[in-house]
Copies of this chain bind each other. A is one copy, B any other.
Amino acid sequence: MAKKVLKFGGTSVGSIERIINAAKIIKREHEDGNSIIVIVSAMAGKTNELIDQSKAISKNFTRRELDVLLTSGEQVSSALLCGALNEIGVKSKSWMNWQIPIITEGENTNSRIININKEKINKFISDGGVAVIPGFQGVSINGDITSIGRGGSDATAVAVAKIFNADSCEIYTDVDGVYSSDPNKIPVAKKIDKISYEEMLELSSLGAKVMQSSAVQTAMIHDIPLEVKSTFTNRKGTKIFGQENIDYNKVITGVAYSKDEAKITLIGVQDKPGVAAEVFEPISKSQINIDMVIQNVSSDGKTTDLTFTIKREELDKTIDTIKNNKKIKFKELSFKKDVSKISIVGAGMVTTPGVTYKMFRALASENINILAISTSEIKISVIINDIDTLRAVKKLHSIFELD
Protein backbone atom coordinates (compact mmCIF):
# COMPACT_ATOMS: atom_id res chain seq x y z
CA MET A 1 0.00 0.00 0.00
CA ALA A 2 1.49 3.28 -1.12
CA LYS A 3 0.94 6.69 0.43
CA LYS A 4 0.08 9.16 -2.32
CA VAL A 5 -0.44 12.90 -2.48
CA LEU A 6 -2.76 13.78 -5.38
CA LYS A 7 -2.95 17.43 -6.36
CA PHE A 8 -5.77 18.74 -8.56
CA GLY A 9 -5.20 22.07 -10.28
CA GLY A 10 -7.79 24.75 -11.04
CA THR A 11 -8.90 23.40 -14.42
CA SER A 12 -9.18 19.88 -12.93
CA VAL A 13 -11.85 21.18 -10.53
CA GLY A 14 -13.08 23.97 -12.82
CA SER A 15 -16.72 22.88 -12.89
CA ILE A 16 -19.11 20.57 -11.03
CA GLU A 17 -18.59 17.88 -13.71
CA ARG A 18 -14.84 18.13 -13.35
CA ILE A 19 -15.01 17.92 -9.56
CA ILE A 20 -17.08 14.74 -9.91
CA ASN A 21 -14.50 13.44 -12.39
CA ALA A 22 -11.65 14.20 -9.98
CA ALA A 23 -13.57 12.35 -7.25
CA LYS A 24 -13.73 9.29 -9.52
CA ILE A 25 -9.96 9.36 -10.08
CA ILE A 26 -9.43 9.58 -6.32
CA LYS A 27 -11.86 6.70 -5.73
CA ARG A 28 -9.92 4.52 -8.19
CA GLU A 29 -6.62 5.28 -6.46
CA HIS A 30 -8.22 4.66 -3.06
CA GLU A 31 -9.72 1.32 -4.17
CA ASP A 32 -6.27 0.30 -5.39
CA GLY A 33 -5.35 0.25 -1.73
CA ASN A 34 -3.46 3.52 -1.57
CA SER A 35 -3.50 5.90 1.36
CA ILE A 36 -4.58 9.23 -0.11
CA ILE A 37 -4.12 12.89 0.75
CA VAL A 38 -5.64 15.28 -1.80
CA ILE A 39 -4.52 18.87 -2.37
CA VAL A 40 -6.94 21.05 -4.29
CA SER A 41 -6.68 24.41 -6.04
CA ALA A 42 -9.47 26.95 -6.39
CA MET A 43 -11.85 26.38 -9.31
CA ALA A 44 -10.32 27.79 -12.51
CA GLY A 45 -10.93 31.52 -12.83
CA LYS A 46 -11.99 31.96 -9.20
CA THR A 47 -8.76 33.46 -7.90
CA ASN A 48 -8.65 35.97 -10.76
CA GLU A 49 -12.28 36.91 -10.11
CA LEU A 50 -11.52 37.58 -6.43
CA ILE A 51 -8.38 39.56 -7.32
CA ASP A 52 -10.46 41.68 -9.72
CA GLN A 53 -12.95 42.38 -6.93
CA SER A 54 -10.17 43.43 -4.57
CA LYS A 55 -8.69 45.71 -7.24
CA ALA A 56 -12.08 47.33 -7.81
CA ILE A 57 -12.04 48.28 -4.13
CA SER A 58 -8.43 49.30 -3.69
CA LYS A 59 -5.18 49.36 -5.62
CA ASN A 60 -3.43 48.71 -2.33
CA PHE A 61 -5.78 46.12 -0.95
CA THR A 62 -4.62 45.15 2.56
CA ARG A 63 -2.49 42.04 2.12
CA ARG A 64 -3.81 40.36 5.25
CA GLU A 65 -7.37 40.72 3.95
CA LEU A 66 -6.34 39.70 0.44
CA ASP A 67 -5.28 36.36 1.89
CA VAL A 68 -8.61 36.02 3.72
CA LEU A 69 -10.32 36.76 0.42
CA LEU A 70 -8.31 34.51 -1.90
CA THR A 71 -8.12 31.44 0.34
CA SER A 72 -11.92 31.23 0.21
CA GLY A 73 -11.50 29.82 -3.31
CA GLU A 74 -9.72 26.66 -2.16
CA GLN A 75 -12.15 26.36 0.77
CA VAL A 76 -15.01 26.09 -1.74
CA SER A 77 -13.32 23.51 -3.99
CA SER A 78 -12.24 21.40 -0.99
CA ALA A 79 -15.78 21.24 0.38
CA LEU A 80 -17.29 20.46 -3.03
CA LEU A 81 -14.72 17.72 -3.67
CA CYS A 82 -15.44 16.13 -0.26
CA GLY A 83 -19.15 16.24 -1.02
CA ALA A 84 -18.49 14.51 -4.35
CA LEU A 85 -16.28 11.87 -2.70
CA ASN A 86 -18.82 11.12 0.02
CA GLU A 87 -21.55 10.92 -2.64
CA ILE A 88 -19.70 8.04 -4.39
CA GLY A 89 -19.00 6.25 -1.13
CA VAL A 90 -15.46 7.43 -0.38
CA LYS A 91 -15.19 8.59 3.22
CA SER A 92 -13.54 12.00 3.10
CA LYS A 93 -13.11 15.13 5.13
CA SER A 94 -11.72 18.57 4.36
CA TRP A 95 -9.17 20.27 6.60
CA MET A 96 -8.63 23.99 6.24
CA ASN A 97 -4.99 24.76 6.88
CA TRP A 98 -5.73 26.35 10.27
CA GLN A 99 -7.44 23.14 11.32
CA ILE A 100 -4.39 20.98 10.66
CA PRO A 101 -2.49 23.38 11.15
CA ILE A 102 -0.13 24.13 8.26
CA ILE A 103 2.05 26.85 9.75
CA THR A 104 3.66 29.48 7.53
CA GLU A 105 6.14 32.25 8.08
CA GLY A 106 6.81 35.39 6.10
CA GLU A 107 4.54 38.14 4.92
CA ASN A 108 0.94 37.81 3.79
CA THR A 109 0.38 36.83 0.12
CA ASN A 110 3.90 35.43 -0.01
CA SER A 111 4.53 33.17 2.95
CA ARG A 112 6.33 29.83 3.22
CA ILE A 113 5.21 26.58 4.83
CA ILE A 114 7.43 25.81 7.83
CA ASN A 115 5.51 23.10 9.62
CA ILE A 116 2.58 20.73 9.19
CA ASN A 117 0.97 18.88 12.08
CA LYS A 118 0.43 15.27 11.02
CA GLU A 119 -1.75 14.01 13.84
CA LYS A 120 -5.35 14.46 12.64
CA ILE A 121 -4.65 13.67 9.00
CA ASN A 122 -2.62 10.55 9.82
CA LYS A 123 -5.35 9.26 12.07
CA PHE A 124 -8.00 9.87 9.41
CA ILE A 125 -6.13 8.27 6.51
CA SER A 126 -5.06 5.27 8.57
CA ASP A 127 -8.77 4.78 9.32
CA GLY A 128 -9.27 4.57 5.55
CA GLY A 129 -10.44 8.12 4.94
CA VAL A 130 -9.36 10.44 2.13
CA ALA A 131 -8.09 13.73 3.55
CA VAL A 132 -8.73 16.82 1.40
CA ILE A 133 -6.54 19.85 2.00
CA PRO A 134 -6.91 23.19 0.24
CA GLY A 135 -3.67 24.21 -1.41
CA PHE A 136 -2.18 27.71 -1.45
CA GLN A 137 -3.26 28.63 2.07
CA GLY A 138 -1.68 28.51 5.51
CA VAL A 139 -1.92 30.00 8.95
CA SER A 140 0.74 32.12 10.63
CA ILE A 141 2.10 31.56 14.11
CA ASN A 142 -0.18 34.34 15.39
CA GLY A 143 -3.26 32.81 13.79
CA ASP A 144 -3.69 34.90 10.65
CA ILE A 145 -4.78 33.33 7.38
CA THR A 146 -1.86 33.40 4.93
CA SER A 147 -1.25 32.38 1.35
CA ILE A 148 1.88 31.13 -0.31
CA GLY A 149 1.50 32.96 -3.61
CA ARG A 150 0.07 32.12 -7.05
CA GLY A 151 0.54 28.49 -8.03
CA GLY A 152 1.03 27.78 -4.35
CA SER A 153 -1.06 24.61 -4.44
CA ASP A 154 1.91 22.80 -6.02
CA ALA A 155 4.06 23.95 -3.10
CA THR A 156 1.44 22.69 -0.63
CA ALA A 157 1.35 19.32 -2.39
CA VAL A 158 5.13 18.89 -2.29
CA ALA A 159 5.37 20.08 1.34
CA VAL A 160 2.63 17.65 2.37
CA ALA A 161 4.30 14.82 0.41
CA LYS A 162 7.56 15.63 2.20
CA ILE A 163 6.17 15.83 5.74
CA PHE A 164 3.94 12.78 5.38
CA ASN A 165 6.78 10.89 3.72
CA ALA A 166 4.57 10.05 0.72
CA ASP A 167 5.71 7.54 -1.88
CA SER A 168 4.69 9.86 -4.68
CA CYS A 169 3.15 13.21 -5.45
CA GLU A 170 0.91 13.30 -8.51
CA ILE A 171 0.02 16.62 -10.09
CA TYR A 172 -3.27 16.36 -11.99
CA THR A 173 -3.64 19.12 -14.54
CA ASP A 174 -5.10 19.94 -17.96
CA VAL A 175 -2.14 18.69 -19.98
CA ASP A 176 -1.02 15.10 -19.98
CA GLY A 177 2.58 15.79 -19.11
CA VAL A 178 5.67 17.75 -20.04
CA TYR A 179 6.39 17.98 -23.76
CA SER A 180 9.63 18.26 -25.71
CA SER A 181 8.21 21.55 -27.00
CA ASP A 182 4.89 23.38 -27.14
CA PRO A 183 2.55 20.76 -28.69
CA ASN A 184 0.16 23.48 -29.83
CA LYS A 185 2.80 25.03 -32.08
CA ILE A 186 5.13 22.12 -32.80
CA PRO A 187 2.89 19.21 -33.78
CA VAL A 188 5.78 16.75 -33.69
CA ALA A 189 6.48 17.56 -30.03
CA LYS A 190 6.45 14.41 -27.89
CA LYS A 191 5.45 13.83 -24.33
CA ILE A 192 8.49 13.22 -22.13
CA ASP A 193 8.13 10.07 -20.02
CA LYS A 194 10.86 10.90 -17.52
CA ILE A 195 12.62 14.15 -16.77
CA SER A 196 15.00 15.27 -14.06
CA TYR A 197 14.13 17.96 -11.52
CA GLU A 198 16.84 20.19 -12.99
CA GLU A 199 15.51 19.93 -16.55
CA MET A 200 11.98 20.49 -15.29
CA LEU A 201 13.14 23.63 -13.51
CA GLU A 202 14.80 24.97 -16.64
CA LEU A 203 11.69 24.22 -18.71
CA SER A 204 9.39 25.79 -16.09
CA SER A 205 11.41 28.96 -15.99
CA LEU A 206 11.17 29.02 -19.78
CA GLY A 207 7.42 29.14 -19.76
CA ALA A 208 6.31 25.50 -19.57
CA LYS A 209 3.52 26.34 -17.10
CA VAL A 210 3.04 22.77 -15.93
CA MET A 211 4.34 23.14 -12.39
CA GLN A 212 5.38 25.92 -10.08
CA SER A 213 9.19 26.12 -9.96
CA SER A 214 9.65 26.43 -6.21
CA ALA A 215 7.59 23.27 -5.72
CA VAL A 216 9.88 21.41 -8.12
CA GLN A 217 12.87 22.76 -6.20
CA THR A 218 11.49 21.51 -2.89
CA ALA A 219 10.81 18.10 -4.45
CA MET A 220 14.37 18.05 -5.76
CA ILE A 221 15.90 18.89 -2.38
CA HIS A 222 13.90 16.19 -0.62
CA ASP A 223 13.96 13.72 -3.52
CA ILE A 224 10.16 13.40 -3.75
CA PRO A 225 9.11 11.66 -6.97
CA LEU A 226 6.59 13.76 -8.91
CA GLU A 227 4.26 12.82 -11.72
CA VAL A 228 2.44 15.33 -13.90
CA LYS A 229 -0.63 13.83 -15.56
CA SER A 230 -3.94 14.75 -17.09
CA THR A 231 -7.25 14.69 -15.22
CA PHE A 232 -9.03 14.16 -18.51
CA THR A 233 -7.29 11.11 -19.97
CA ASN A 234 -6.01 7.85 -18.55
CA ARG A 235 -2.65 8.21 -20.24
CA LYS A 236 0.59 8.02 -18.32
CA GLY A 237 2.06 11.37 -17.41
CA THR A 238 5.60 12.65 -17.05
CA LYS A 239 7.62 11.42 -14.11
CA ILE A 240 9.99 13.86 -12.52
CA PHE A 241 12.86 12.61 -10.35
CA GLY A 242 16.60 12.76 -9.81
CA GLN A 243 18.98 12.53 -12.78
CA GLU A 244 20.44 9.31 -11.38
CA ASN A 245 17.15 7.56 -12.12
CA ILE A 246 17.11 8.49 -15.78
CA ASP A 247 18.86 6.66 -18.63
CA TYR A 248 19.54 9.43 -21.08
CA ASN A 249 19.34 8.22 -24.63
CA LYS A 250 18.97 11.76 -25.92
CA VAL A 251 21.26 14.70 -25.34
CA ILE A 252 18.44 17.19 -25.34
CA THR A 253 15.14 16.70 -23.51
CA GLY A 254 13.21 19.65 -24.80
CA VAL A 255 13.18 22.87 -26.77
CA ALA A 256 11.44 25.78 -25.12
CA TYR A 257 10.81 29.30 -26.29
CA SER A 258 9.34 32.46 -24.97
CA LYS A 259 8.11 35.22 -27.22
CA ASP A 260 7.26 38.67 -25.89
CA GLU A 261 10.85 39.40 -24.99
CA ALA A 262 12.78 42.61 -25.59
CA LYS A 263 16.51 43.21 -25.56
CA ILE A 264 18.37 46.25 -24.30
CA THR A 265 22.07 46.87 -24.81
CA LEU A 266 23.98 49.55 -22.95
CA ILE A 267 27.05 50.38 -25.03
CA GLY A 268 30.13 51.82 -23.42
CA VAL A 269 29.43 50.97 -19.81
CA GLN A 270 32.44 51.39 -17.52
CA ASP A 271 34.18 48.07 -16.94
CA LYS A 272 34.71 48.14 -13.17
CA PRO A 273 33.28 46.30 -10.17
CA GLY A 274 29.78 47.30 -9.08
CA VAL A 275 28.64 48.67 -12.40
CA ALA A 276 26.17 45.84 -13.12
CA ALA A 277 24.69 46.31 -9.65
CA GLU A 278 24.32 50.03 -10.31
CA VAL A 279 22.43 49.31 -13.50
CA PHE A 280 20.15 46.62 -12.14
CA GLU A 281 19.34 48.09 -8.72
CA PRO A 282 16.91 50.78 -9.96
CA ILE A 283 15.40 48.34 -12.49
CA SER A 284 14.75 45.80 -9.78
CA LYS A 285 13.28 48.50 -7.55
CA SER A 286 10.83 49.31 -10.36
CA GLN A 287 9.59 45.69 -10.07
CA ILE A 288 10.96 44.82 -13.53
CA ASN A 289 12.19 41.27 -13.96
CA ILE A 290 15.51 40.87 -15.73
CA ASP A 291 15.84 37.58 -17.59
CA MET A 292 19.12 36.96 -19.47
CA VAL A 293 22.19 39.08 -18.81
CA ILE A 294 25.20 38.99 -21.11
CA GLN A 295 28.36 40.98 -20.62
CA ASN A 296 31.30 40.59 -22.94
CA VAL A 297 34.88 40.89 -21.86
CA SER A 298 36.10 44.40 -22.27
CA SER A 299 38.01 44.97 -25.47
CA ASP A 300 39.74 48.17 -24.42
CA GLY A 301 39.95 47.33 -20.68
CA LYS A 302 37.89 50.42 -19.86
CA THR A 303 34.37 50.04 -21.19
CA THR A 304 32.15 47.12 -22.10
CA ASP A 305 28.66 46.43 -23.49
CA LEU A 306 25.91 45.11 -21.25
CA THR A 307 22.97 43.26 -22.83
CA PHE A 308 19.92 42.01 -21.01
CA THR A 309 16.41 40.89 -21.79
CA ILE A 310 13.11 41.74 -20.20
CA LYS A 311 9.41 41.19 -20.91
CA ARG A 312 8.46 43.20 -23.98
CA GLU A 313 5.62 44.95 -22.15
CA GLU A 314 8.13 46.39 -19.69
CA LEU A 315 10.47 47.82 -22.32
CA ASP A 316 9.30 51.44 -22.10
CA LYS A 317 9.29 51.40 -18.32
CA THR A 318 12.80 49.94 -18.27
CA ILE A 319 14.20 52.52 -20.67
CA ASP A 320 12.60 55.31 -18.61
CA THR A 321 14.07 53.88 -15.42
CA ILE A 322 17.57 53.76 -16.93
CA LYS A 323 17.38 57.25 -18.45
CA ASN A 324 15.98 58.80 -15.24
CA ASN A 325 18.72 57.33 -13.10
CA LYS A 326 21.76 59.55 -13.36
CA LYS A 327 23.99 56.98 -11.64
CA ILE A 328 23.83 54.67 -14.65
CA LYS A 329 26.57 55.78 -17.03
CA PHE A 330 26.88 54.57 -20.62
CA LYS A 331 27.60 55.93 -24.09
CA GLU A 332 24.54 54.67 -25.91
CA LEU A 333 21.38 52.66 -25.33
CA SER A 334 20.12 50.40 -28.09
CA PHE A 335 17.12 48.14 -27.89
CA LYS A 336 15.25 45.59 -29.94
CA LYS A 337 11.59 45.10 -29.34
CA ASP A 338 10.65 41.99 -31.27
CA VAL A 339 12.91 39.25 -30.05
CA SER A 340 12.32 35.85 -28.56
CA LYS A 341 14.33 33.40 -26.53
CA ILE A 342 14.92 29.83 -27.69
CA SER A 343 16.40 27.34 -25.25
CA ILE A 344 17.50 23.75 -25.51
CA VAL A 345 17.43 21.87 -22.22
CA GLY A 346 18.95 18.50 -21.41
CA ALA A 347 20.87 16.93 -18.58
CA GLY A 348 22.63 14.87 -21.25
CA MET A 349 24.52 17.89 -22.60
CA VAL A 350 26.82 17.90 -19.56
CA THR A 351 28.59 14.80 -20.85
CA THR A 352 28.16 15.38 -24.56
CA PRO A 353 30.56 17.72 -26.33
CA GLY A 354 29.57 19.81 -29.29
CA VAL A 355 25.97 20.56 -28.37
CA THR A 356 26.50 24.31 -28.53
CA TYR A 357 28.16 24.07 -31.91
CA LYS A 358 25.38 21.80 -33.21
CA MET A 359 22.75 24.30 -32.10
CA PHE A 360 24.46 27.28 -33.69
CA ARG A 361 25.13 25.44 -36.94
CA ALA A 362 21.46 24.41 -37.12
CA LEU A 363 20.32 28.01 -36.71
CA ALA A 364 22.89 29.21 -39.24
CA SER A 365 21.65 26.66 -41.76
CA GLU A 366 18.22 28.30 -41.46
CA ASN A 367 19.82 31.70 -41.87
CA ILE A 368 18.70 32.75 -38.38
CA ASN A 369 20.78 35.43 -36.75
CA ILE A 370 21.75 34.96 -33.08
CA LEU A 371 21.59 38.25 -31.13
CA ALA A 372 22.78 36.98 -27.75
CA ILE A 373 23.77 33.74 -26.10
CA SER A 374 23.61 32.51 -22.52
CA THR A 375 24.37 29.04 -21.23
CA SER A 376 24.01 27.04 -18.03
CA GLU A 377 25.01 23.47 -17.19
CA ILE A 378 21.95 21.92 -18.79
CA LYS A 379 20.59 24.73 -20.94
CA ILE A 380 21.63 26.89 -23.86
CA SER A 381 19.50 29.94 -24.61
CA VAL A 382 19.77 32.26 -27.57
CA ILE A 383 17.99 35.48 -28.41
CA ILE A 384 16.79 35.70 -32.02
CA ASN A 385 14.39 37.82 -34.01
CA ASP A 386 10.80 37.10 -33.02
CA ILE A 387 9.84 36.33 -36.60
CA ASP A 388 12.24 33.35 -36.72
CA THR A 389 10.91 31.70 -33.55
CA LEU A 390 8.88 28.78 -34.83
CA ARG A 391 11.34 28.00 -37.63
CA ALA A 392 14.15 27.85 -35.07
CA VAL A 393 12.21 25.68 -32.63
CA LYS A 394 11.22 23.21 -35.36
CA LYS A 395 14.77 22.96 -36.65
CA LEU A 396 16.23 22.37 -33.17
CA HIS A 397 13.49 19.91 -32.29
CA SER A 398 14.35 17.90 -35.39
CA ILE A 399 18.14 18.16 -35.25
CA PHE A 400 18.19 16.91 -31.63
CA GLU A 401 15.96 13.96 -32.59
CA LEU A 402 12.93 14.94 -30.54
CA ASP A 403 10.36 14.62 -33.36
Contact = CB atoms under 8 A, between A and B. Distances in A.
Interface of A: 16, 19-20, 50, 53-54, 56-58, 60-62, 64-66, 68-69, 71-72, 75-76, 78-80, 82-84, 86-87, 93-94, 96, 98-99, 143-145
A282 to B, nearest CB: 29
A187 B49 CA distance: 41
A65 B94 contact: yes
Contacts of A98: 98
Contact of A96 (B19, B53, B68, B79): B68
Given A68-B78, A75-B72, A84 B96 contact: no
A62 B65 CA distance: 29
Contact of A58 (B54, B64, B83, B144): B83
Nearest to A71: B75
Given A64-B93, A99-B143, A76 B86 contact: no
A98 to B, nearest CB: 6
18 contacts: A16-B57, A19-B57, A20-B57, A54-B79, A57-B83, A57-B87, A60-B87, A61-B87, A62-B83, A65-B79, A65-B93, A65-B94, A66-B79, A68-B79, A68-B96, A71-B75, A96-B145, A99-B143
Contacts of A99: 143-144
A241 to B, nearest CB: 35
Number of copies: 2
A57 B84 contact: yes
Contact of A57 (B58, B80, B96, B144): B80
Contact of A86 (B58, B69, B79, B93): B58
A72 B68 contact: no
Contacts of A72: 72, 75-76, 79
A64 B78 CA distance: 12
A76 B50 contact: yes
A66 B83 contact: yes
